[in-house]
């Protein structure tokens, strides 16, 4: 089974690693997506447990780009009945098709209208759900995929308190995987609404990403509810932290974070109203993953630089020697310069668009003591 898994653009490596944790094998990566091979049950596992994942699409058919009549070949070789009793179909494509082969969409739309014996703009109903297909190209191959997800997976039910600068949950999970830490204590010194802590804790507990939602694959003719329940992550693959600590200097955020932690059903998350530039964590954390304040202009930029300097100066009181850290900020260049002055070399970086800003995640290790 081949799947096209979409994720936070710039963090494809993290998504590929998580797919590996969950039983798949990444065979290709593109902008904002990963191509994954695995057994059919991987469709269930990625949808239910994938925390860096935004959408899972299952390949129905593929054809070489050099082949004559590529769209005819795709339709003639795929089994559209697998999608169930759909009354209509929506169709999307990747940037290659939009820019280089836009006529394929017209051809495919015509062929699908005939195949479904309906128009492609029929709205979804509760009784006869709409199918969603995607045309993509990787390498020298065009593939037609069926969406197995439905509503994007980045939404989380535990959000009771929305921090004004909350981090996207799929990005938070990507940062946890980027840290390359798998056990011990995870600490978020600027915890805000707690998304990073909650994602790490639920990942460590191998809890489903969503508790109340439907998936399009449940409409497929070969959907097997018992197989879905058995499609849990393999043991000893996901990060497994055993304790979680978050601090923030804003009492409103700490109370809001506590609401989110409670809604997530977590009990091992310790929250403190504390200034991380002065705090001492005992025992010190094995990993730090955090989303500090950023995105300010003018005179406040100096205040942010001063905050980062004080945070890095206090890092030995927060993180074990040799411990791993990931910091995501719009001030990535300044952060890397500050690390260089402390003779700390980043182990990895990744850039992405978050809200209206470009941000950079910087991963590094504290020198051994």
Are 287 and 193 part of one and the same domain? yes
Residue for token pair 């600027």: 190
Its pTM stands at 0.92
pLDDT value at position 369? Answer: 78
Q: pLDDT-based confidence at 164, cuts 50/70/90?
A: confident
- In a domain, residue 43? The reply is yes
Over residues 233-284, the pLDDT tens digits come to 988 888 999 999 999 999 999 999 999 999 999 988 999 999 999 999 999 9
147 has which bridge partners? Answer: 57
220 belongs to a structural domain: no
* Domain identity same for 203 and 130: no
| pLDDT at res. 321 | 95
Q: Are residues 143 and 185 in the same domain?
A: no
Q: What is the pLDDT of residue 57?
A: 97
Whole-number CA gyration radius for the chain:
22
Write the burial class of residue 93 (CB in 10 Å: 0-12 exposed, 13-18 middle, 19+ buried). buried
The pLDDT of residue 84 is 82
pLDDT value for 225: 94
178 shares a domain with 126: no
Q: Do 141 and 248 belong together in one domain?
A: no
How far is 67 from 240, CA to CA, in rounded Å? 47
Name which of 116-125, 156-165, 207-216 the model is least confident about: 116-125
Q: Is residue 157, in this structure, part of any structural domain at all?
A: no
Q: Give the domain CATH number at 80.
A: 3.30.2130.30
Q: CB of 57 within 8 A of CB of 146? A: yes
Predicted pLDDT at 296: 61
pLDDT top residue among 353 and 87: 353
pLDDT (tens digit per residue) in 11-25: 999 999 999 999 999
Question: pLDDT digits over 94-127, tens only?
Answer: 999 999 999 999 999 888 887 776 544 434 344 4
- 28 pLDDT band, cuts 50/70/90, is very high
What is the C-alpha end-to-end distance of the chain, expressed in Å?
A: 47
Predicted pLDDT of residue 117? 62
Number of structural domains in the chain = 2
pLDDT on residue 25: 96
**pLDDT, position 279:** 95
The pLDDT score that the predictor gives to residue 81 is 84
| The domain boundary residue, chosen from 147, 178, 194 | 147
CA separation for the pair 172, 176 (Å, rounded) = 7
Residue with tokens 């197989």: 227
Indicate if 281 and 134 belong to the same structural domain. no
Buried/exposed 102-126: b ≥16 CB within 10 Å, e otherwise: eebbebbeeebeeebeeebeeeeee
Give residue-wise pLDDT tens across range 279-330.
999 999 999 999 999 866 434 667 888 999 999 999 999 999 999 999 999 9
369 in Cβ contact with 321 (< 8 Å): yes
Q: Do 143 and 182 share a structural domain?
A: no
Is 224 inside any structural domain? no
- For residue 6, list its beta bridge partners: 33, 55
Query: What is the per-residue pLDDT across 127-158, written as a single tens digit (0 to 9) for each?
Result: 445 789 999 998 899 999 999 999 999 999 99
User: Tokens 């308190």 correspond to what residue?
Assistant: 161
Residues 6+ apart with CB under 8 A from 47: 53, 56, 148, 149, 153, 215, 217
In the predicted structure, residue 33 carries a pLDDT above the cut 50: yes
Residue 278 CB-half CA count within 13 A? 6
Residue 91 falls within a domain, yes or no?
A: yes
Q: Both 243 and 333 in a single domain? A: yes
| 168-178 pLDDT, tens digit each | 999 999 999 99
Q: The domain spanning residue 315 has which CATH number?
A: 3.40.50.150
Examine residue 215 and state whether it is found in any structural domain, yes or no.
no
Task: State the average pLDDT over residues 76-99.
Answer: 87
Spatial separation of the C-alpha atoms in residues 129 and 219, rounded to whole Å: 8
pLDDT of residue 301: 65
Same structural domain for residues 307 and 351? yes
CB atoms under 10 Å from CB of 60, counted, come to 20
pLDDT at 120: 44
Rounded CA-CA distance 208/273 in Å is: 30
Cis peptide bond prior to 283, omega within 30° of 0: yes
User: What is the domain range of residue 246?
Assistant: 169-208+232-365
* Token pair recorded at residue 56: 């899972």
């Amino acid at each position: 089974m081949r799947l096209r898994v979409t994720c936070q653009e710039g963090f494809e490596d993290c998504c590929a690693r998580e797919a590996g944790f969950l039983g798949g094998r990444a065979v290709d990566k593109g902008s904002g997506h990963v191509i994954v091979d695995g057994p059919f049950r991987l469709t269930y596992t990625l949808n239910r447990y994938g925390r860096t994942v935004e959408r899972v699409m299952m390949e129905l058919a593929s054809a070489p780009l050099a082949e004559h009549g590529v769209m005819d070949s795709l339709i003639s070789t795929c089994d559209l009945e697998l999608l169930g009793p759909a009354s209509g179909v929506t169709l999307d494509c990747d940037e290659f098709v939009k820019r280089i082969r836009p006529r394929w969409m017209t051809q495919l739309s015509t062929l699908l209208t005939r195949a479904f014996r309906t128009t492609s703009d029929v709205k979804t109903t509760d009784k006869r759900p709409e199918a969603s297909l995607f045309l993509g190209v990787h390498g020298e191959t065009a593939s037609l995929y069926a969406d197995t997800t439905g509503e994007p997976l980045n939404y989380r039910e535990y959000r009771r308190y929305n921090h004004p600068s909350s981090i996207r949950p799929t990005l938070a999970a990507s940062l946890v995987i980027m840290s390359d830490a798998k056990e011990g204590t995870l600490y978020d010194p600027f915890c805000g609404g707690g998304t990073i802590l909650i994602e790490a804790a639920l990942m460590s507990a191998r809890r489903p990403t969503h508790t109340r939602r439907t998936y399009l694959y449940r409409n497929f003719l070969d959907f097997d509810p018992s197989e879905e329940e058995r499609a849990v992550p393999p043991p000893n693959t996901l990060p497994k932290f055993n304790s979680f600590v978050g601090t923030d200097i804003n009492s409103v955020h700490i109370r809001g974070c506590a609401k989110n932690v409670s809604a997530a059903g977590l009990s091992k998350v310790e929250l403190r109203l504390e200034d991380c530039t002065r705090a001492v964590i005992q025992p010190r954390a094995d990993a730090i993953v955090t989303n500090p304040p950023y995105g300010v202009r003018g005179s406040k930029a100096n205040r942010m630089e001063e905050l980062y300097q004080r945070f890095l100066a206090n890092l030995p009181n927060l993180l074990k020697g040799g411990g791993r850290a990931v910091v995501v900020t719009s001030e990535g260049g300044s952060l890397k310069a500050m690390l260089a002055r402390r003779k700390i070399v980043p182990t990895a970086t990744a850039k992405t668009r978050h809200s209206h800003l470009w941000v950079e995640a910087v991963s590094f290790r504290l020198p051994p003591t």
